Structure formats: C-alpha cells, structure tokens
Amino acid sequence: MSIVMNIYNVKFIKNIVFIFILFNVNVFAQVDNAIDSMFCTKEHQLTDLLRDINDTKFNDVKIDTLNKKVLGIFGAVLQKKRAFEYSFDSILFVSKIVSEDKKIRFFTWAISYSDGTYKHFGFMQYYSEKQNKVLLFSLIDKSDSIKNIDNVTLSTDNWFGAMYYDIVQTKDYYGDLYVLLGWDGNNLFSKKKVIESLRVVNDKPIFGLPVFIAGKEIRKRVIFEYSRMSSMMLKYDKSYKMIVFDHLEPSSYIYNGNYQYYGPDLTIDALKYNGDKWVYKQNIDYKPQGSRRKKR
C-alpha cells in the first residue's frame, strides 16, 4: 500500500512541477511578447516622426522640434531592459550597425536644413564587461566647431557627425580597435565621407586614434569631400581585407582645393591593416567580386 502511495505521490509531484514550469514558460512568453510589442510600437512612432522631418521643407523650427521628440523617445527606449538585444529593424531613416563582437551598436541619422546644410544625430550602445551592463551614449555633432579635424581626438559629446553604415573590427597592442565608415551630407555644394577610428577606454568611447598612415603622415581619421553631383565608393571589402575607395580629383587643375568640383577619377585607393596601423595604398588593382560597387 505504501509503495502504491509513494508512486502516486511521485506522479502527483511531477504533474505539479510540469504545470508550474508550463505556467512560468507561458508567463515569460507573455512578458517577452509585451516587451517586443512595446519596442515595435516605439519603432513605428519613431519612423512616423522621422518621416515628418524628411517631409518638412523650409521650416527648421519644426524640424528641430520633431527631432527633439525623436531624441527623447529613442534615448528612453534604448535604456529599456532587452533593448540591446532587440533589432529595431523596422525603424526607417536610421542607419544601424553592430560590431563583429556584438559589444557596440550605433544608431545614426541625418537631418537636412533649409540652407542645405546637414546635421547628424545618434546613439551608441556599448556592452561593458567590467560593469556587466549596457551603457548608452548620445552622439553630439560638433563638426562645425572642430578644428584640425584629421588629427584631433573626440568624444561622444564632441563628435564629428556622420551616418555610419559599416564597422570594421581589428585588434592591436592596446586591444579592440574599430573603424567606422560614414556619410555626411555637408551642404549644398559638397558631400563628405569619413573613415573614423574608435576605441573604448575605461568604458568611455574615444574617436580619433593615430592609426591611419600615408607615407610619413599619420592621421586620426580620414575625410573625403567631393561634389554634390558626384558619388563616391567607400567600403570594406572582406575578400581583399582592405578598405577600398574612389580616388578623388578636381574636374580641372584650376579647382585644386575647391572640393565642390572633386569627383572620382576611375582609379581605386585602399587602406590595408598591417596588425598595427591602416596603411594607404594608391591605385590598387581592384576587381570587386560578387556584387556591383555600391555608391551613395
């Protein structure tokens, strides 16, 4: 009799445990769905605001008002639990990139004003192993006031604004080194592209490391300026393990140094990582594989 009772008790306990587990799985699933639904709602809200910004012409006050709402909502939602794992793929008008080690993620966007100038905005998420949490940084575009731009170290509060579309991760003696590729609308006459260097030191992002070498010249970032009417290729080609880009020249020697008249001359240059620095290579023999050259 006691054996039968013991078997009954074991079965009863197993059923209770199974029901308990099933209940908790359902509860967690409901919580996850609710969180995902919240993120999805915010994505649509942000997309609507950014669409309104892009549709607004010759009203800079309205543009800034709408963008402040974007910054407020986006900043708040990126601090939510599980925000670092959520893809935010449904947000339009925002460039999203993630580092290979999954520790860094950038959200950046550009706003055009009535005078033809552009300003850039964004956020950087960084997973700190030291603190075991995700840190959020606002990116403050101070491009107009930054001097000696090729050789100055910057921070998230003093940032050379750009819409980042790729991130390349390497390692050197000091640890992880990241290179960001970005686009800057600049103004009515010219556009820019930037090759930016990034390292995180004591959980603080530092932009601008002396890692780009052209001959005897060392730069902390590389900036290209070219005609508003032109397109420029700048990308990281994994098959070549190089950052490849169009070589820019003025349309006539009389425009030398006047970058609104610069454009590609049909030759390709590159930066190749040597384990310590990115070294400039001029006029390489480049044949892109598998896809057409993407330009913007």
Percent of the chain with pLDDT over 90: 83
Q: Is residue 160 part of a domain?
A: yes
Q: Furthest-apart CA pair in the chain: how many Å? A: 106
Q: Is residue 258 part of a domain?
A: yes
Q: Is residue 132 part of a domain?
A: no
Q: Is residue 96 part of a domain?
A: no
pTM passes above 0.95: no
Q: Is residue 220 part of a domain?
A: yes
Q: Is residue 229 part of a domain?
A: yes
99, amino acid identity? S
- 3-class SS of residue 224: strand
Q: Is residue 14 part of a domain?
A: no
* Structure tokens, 224: 């290209």
Other residues' Cβ atoms within 10 Å of the Cβ of residue 93: 16
For the chain, the domain total comes to: 1
98 in Cβ contact with 104 (< 8 Å):
yes
End-to-end distance of the chain based on CA atoms, in angstroms?
Answer: 81
Give the strand pairing for 175-184 and 217-219: unpaired
Other residues' Cβ atoms within 10 Å of the Cβ of residue 261: 19
25, amino acid identity? V
pLDDT in tens, 26-43: 444 444 565 788 999 999
Give the strand pairing for 163-172 and 133-140: unpaired
* Structure tokens, 79: 């601090």
Per-residue pLDDT 10s for the chain (296 aa) are: 555 556 556 565 666 655 555 555 444 444 456 578 899 999 999 999 999 999 999 999 999 999 999 999 999 999 998 999 999 999 999 999 999 999 999 999 999 999 999 999 999 999 999 999 999 999 999 999 999 999 999 999 999 999 999 999 999 999 999 999 999 999 999 999 999 999 999 999 999 999 999 988 999 999 999 999 999 999 999 999 999 999 999 999 999 999 999 999 999 999 999 999 999 999 999 998 764 444 44
141 in Cβ contact with 158 (< 8 Å):
no
How far apart CA 84 and CA 98 sit, in angstroms, is: 10
How far apart CA 258 and CA 243 sit, in angstroms, is: 25
Beta strands in the chain (DSSP E): 95-98, 104-112, 118-128, 133-140, 163-172, 175-184, 190-201, 204-207, 212-214, 217-219, 221-227, 234-237, 242-250, 262-273, 278-281
How far apart CA 129 and CA 184 sit, in angstroms, is: 32
Give, as one character, the DSSP assignment of residue 254.
Answer: G
Closest by Cα among 205, 212, 126 to 160: 205
Give me the domain span that covers residue 183: 142-296
How far apart CA 95 and CA 163 sit, in angstroms, is: 6
Q: Which residues pair with 125 in a beta bridge?
A: 105, 136
pLDDT in tens, 47-56: 999 999 999 9
Q: Which helix (H) or strand (E) holds 14?
A: helix 2-55
For 16-60, give the DSSP string: HHHHHHHHHHHHHHHHHHHHHHHHHHHHHHHHHHHHHHHH--S-H
Q: Is residue 36 part of a domain?
A: no
